[in-house]
């Protein structure tokens, strides 16, 4: 016999809905600014940022998939589109003939460097500058706790309520 769910009380519901709505609105706003200012999608930006921060500017596709938490097919389609624009390229992996490397090209590096300046400005304007240093520290602590829990929790079967 199924048990009654432990419904959210008004305070919990307000906290949850405010978090979800804020995250959504902030993401939409930042994505819109990014696209208007640089022509980059969020996916473009993520890939370029990761590659630009890597010492060699390149990494195995499988490693990039893991960092992005994407399926192989999604990365493949995204890389193809970015390759057509001359931002990145695929090349054989010298350490593993079965895999490919994704490499940042000079136009991709210029694009991310220019886009990052405006993106950081918008992150500051719509998020960082609205909070005190103590509030930022609290946000970090709360989100690190949630991320730690998610990293420890199993993915499959966790949606079943405890009996």
In this structure, are residues 59 and 101 in contact, taking their beta carbons and an 8 Å threshold?
yes
Q: How far apart are CA 122 and CA 42, in angstroms?
A: 14
| pTM, entire model | 0.84
Q: What is the pLDDT of residues 59-103, one digit of tens each?
A: 999 999 999 999 999 999 999 999 999 999 999 998 888 889 999
Q: What is the pLDDT of residues 28-43, one digit of tens each?
A: 999 999 999 999 999 9
């Amino acid at each position: 016999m199924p048990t009654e769910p432990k419904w959210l009380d008004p305070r919990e519901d307000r906290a949850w809905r405010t978090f979800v709505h804020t995250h959504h609105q902030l993401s939409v706003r930042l994505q819109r600014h990014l696209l208007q200012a640089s022509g980059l999608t969020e996916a473009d930006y993520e890939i370029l940022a990761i590659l630009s921060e890597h010492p060699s500017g390149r990494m195995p596709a499988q490693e990039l998939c893991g960092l992005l938490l994407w399926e192989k097919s999604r990365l493949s389609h995204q890389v193809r589109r970015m390759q057509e624009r001359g931002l990145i390229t695929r090349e054989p992996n010298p350490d593993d003939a079965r895999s490919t490397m994704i490499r940042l090209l000079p136009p991709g590096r210029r694009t991310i460097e220019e886009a990052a300046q405006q993106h950081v400005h918008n992150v500051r304007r719509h998020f960082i500058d609205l909070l005190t240093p103590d509030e930022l520290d609290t946000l970090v602590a709360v989100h690190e706790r949630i991320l730690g829990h998610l990293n420890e929790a199993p993915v499959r079967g966790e949606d079943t309520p405890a009996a």
